[in-house]
Amino acid sequence: MALRFNVDTPLLDASLNASLNNSILNPCNGTFCFIFSRLIPGTNLEEIIGKSGTDYGPATFVSFDPTSCAVTLRRTTFGTPGTTITTVIDCTNIESVSYTS
């Protein structure tokens, strides 16, 4: 018995497209990619820890690029004068994030 289906069925097309978009076309999968894709730019982040153990915070969330998975953060160093540092990290390389909602 062969399995047959009609690819012209809109529901099948939609579910197939969603499956392809999530797994093949969109490399940005995981909890932190999901969080940053919905986070409002300007949100203050208390702590951002990368998988390498590097602490990128405190920082301000600037943007998220779902095509490249890039999360852009900005922070100002202490001292006089303060220096603004922009950091770009792949959302798949983030281990934890703390922020006030």
The mean per-residue pLDDT over the stretch 71-94 comes to 91
| Cβ pair 52, 95 in contact under 8 A | no
End-to-end CA distance of the chain: give it in Å, rounded.
54
> Does the model's pTM come out above 0.75?
no
Q: Return the CA Rg of the chain.
A: 19
Instruction: Give residue-wise pLDDT tens across range 32-70.
Output: 999 999 999 999 999 999 999 999 989 999 999 999 999
Instruction: Give residue-wise pLDDT tens across range 12-36.
Output: 445 444 444 454 556 788 999 999 9
| Cβ pair 69, 90 in contact under 8 A | yes
The mean per-residue pLDDT over the stretch 4-11 comes to 47
